[in-house]
Amino acid sequence: MAERISMGPDGQLQVPEEPIIPFIEGDGTGVDIWPAAQLVFDAAVAKHGRKVAWKEVLAGEKAYKETGSWLPEETVEAFRDHLIGIKGPLTTPVGGGIRSLNVALRQLLDLYVCLRPVRWFQGVPSPVRHPEKVDMVIFRENTEDVYAGLEVEAFTPEAERLAGYLREAFGWEIRPGSGIGVKPISEEGSKRLVRAAIQYALRHGRRSVTLVHKGNIQKFTEGAFRNWGYELVREEFSDVAVGWDDCGGQPGDKLLVKDAIADITLQQVLTRPEEFDVIATMNLNGDYLSDALAAQVGGIGIAPGANVNYVTGHGVFEATHGTAPKYAGQDKVNPGSVILSGALMFEHLGWTEVAADIVKALEATIAEKIVTYDFARLTEGATEVKCSEFASAIVDRL
């Protein structure tokens, strides 16, 4: 019987035999990648005598057409109620129009961690010489920063009013005709994110957590994030972790927490990837870093992600990439990111054998050079297949 996932009294997810999992198909290429991914999920869970009761919920263009709302309340309620869900990408227009529905979901459900593991799979074409050295897990703060969309448009009364207030109260001169954005970074938001990153690193036997920030320039936001991160290590983890300054980079058998400034980080993840393990950073840095890192291990077609609240148990799993509208409906793009996001979800549910099988079958498919266009254009001797054919090839190898 299909049942809800719930949170047990011990703070652990209670997963029934046949959990109901809400999903959003997604805009653009969502119509291609969701059915492909679901095919793989259903085959992988069936192999272990299990079943998922998928429950479609609407968001984005499909929701707007059918209900007149971009993000209907029932959709948010379904994710709230069922705890765990998965989604395809949703479009956000540039420079106007609706604000991001993806961000809205993260905020409404307080999914404060955006978890994006980045690792190389055997056979995946890469622009770097040693993609196998890339094995990082990004913990991106998911509810604050300029990403929260607190901004006013240039030449509006709101912008004039805010500029006037800032002039009067702080003596800040803002050039007339400026849009103005606000970047909130809180102690609570920073510490809960860094806490989750450290706990993950300890659980998975990782060597280090790097706090990535631009704290030399943005002292009281990004700089504060770094300081709060180190403070948290001393307050809550001193028996198992140590900050760089407190050990001179010699952590002994403890987890090392260090920090790096964001600009040089973007160089060093390329030139010295082995020095980075778990990364904890704020929203916008994490956004940039996750796409850049994905490039080193084959690109955005194979970059999974999860939005999680480790306290309430809520999680919405989704690819790192967007809707790739020019390919929508062509059955062409790589469904790998959503498939691997599903594997992350099954792992999160404790269905580790399902997750492991999905990853193994995807690797086997790529190793045989059966790939979608994105990998085919970089792989000599590849057999280029459609999105749905790639999924079927994975199912055949489960």
Ligand X SMILES: NC(=O)C1=CN([C@@H]2O[C@H](COP(=O)(O)OP(=O)(O)OC[C@H]3O[C@@H](n4cnc5c(N)ncnc54)[C@H](OP(=O)(O)O)[C@@H]3O)[C@@H](O)[C@H]2O)C=CC1
Q: Interface with ligand X includes 190 (CB under 6 A)? A: no
Question: Closest by alpha carbon to 142, among 115, 100, 113, 117?
Answer: 113
How distant is the alpha carbon of residue 99 from its chain centre? 18
Question: Closest by alpha carbon to 229, among 217, 240, 213, 216?
Answer: 213
Q: Cβ distance 154 to 148 under 8 Å?
A: no
Q: How far is the CB of 388 from ligand X (least distance, A)?
A: 13
Q: Would you give the binding string for ligand AKG spanning residues 266-295, x where CB under 6 A is met?
A: ---------------------x--------
Q: What backbone phi and psi angles, to 5 degrees, belong to 63?
A: -65, -40
CA–CA separation, 188 vs 378, rounded Å? 44
Rounded to 10 deg, the angle between the 336-348 and 387-396 helix axes is 40
Residues 148-177 that bind ligand X (CB under 6 A): none
Residue tagged active-site, from 62, 145, 147, 183: 147
Can you read off the two tokens belonging to residue 335? 């469904």
End-to-end alpha carbon distance in the chain: 25
Q: How many CB atoms lie within 10 A of CB 245?
A: 11
Q: With contacts defined by CB under 6 A, how many residues of the chain interact with ligand AKG?
A: 6
Nearer to ligand X, 218 or 330 (CB): 330
Catalytic residue list contains 200: no
Nearer to ligand X, 71 or 257 (CB): 71
**Vertex 287, ends 283 and 292: CA angle to 5°?**
145
Residue tagged active-site, from 145, 287, 357, 374: 287
Q: With contacts defined by CB under 6 A, how many residues of the chain interact with ligand X?
A: 18
Q: How many CB atoms lie within 10 A of CB 252?
A: 7
Catalytic residue list contains 214: yes
Q: Identify the residue among 116, 183, 258, 321 touching ligand X (CB under 6 A).
A: 321
Q: Which partner in Mg ion, ligand X, ligand AKG, none is near 218 (CB below 5 to 8 A by kind)? A: none
Residue tagged active-site, from 214, 254, 258, 332: 214
Specify the stretch interacting with ligand X by CB under 6 A; choose among 13-21, 111-119, 230-238, 329-337.
Answer: 329-337
| Beta strand ranges found along 226-354 (DSSP E) | 241-243, 255-261, 278-281, 306-308, 315-318
Q: Which amino acid is at 218?
A: Q
CA–CA separation, 368 vs 383, rounded Å? 9
Q: Would you give the binding string for ligand AKG spanning residues 64-103, x where CB under 6 A is met?
A: ----------------------------x-------x-xx
Q: How many CB atoms lie within 10 A of CB 23?
A: 25
Q: Identify the residue among 38, 283, 323, 341 touching ligand X (CB under 6 A).
A: 323
Residues 276-335 that bind Mg ion (CB under 5 A): 287
Q: What backbone phi and psi angles, to 5 degrees, belong to 136?
A: -125, 155
Length of the chain: 398
Catalytic residue list contains 27: no
Q: How far is the CB of 43 from ligand X (least distance, A)?
A: 20
Specify the stretch interacting with ligand X by CB under 6 A; choose among 89-97, 153-161, 277-285, 354-362.
Answer: 89-97
Q: Which partner in Mg ion, ligand AKG, ligand X, none is near 323 (CB below 5 to 8 A by kind)? A: ligand X
Q: Give me the active site residues, please.
A: 147, 214, 263, 287
Binding site for ligand X (CB under 6 A): 29, 33, 89-92, 102, 300-301, 318, 321-324, 333-334, 337, 374
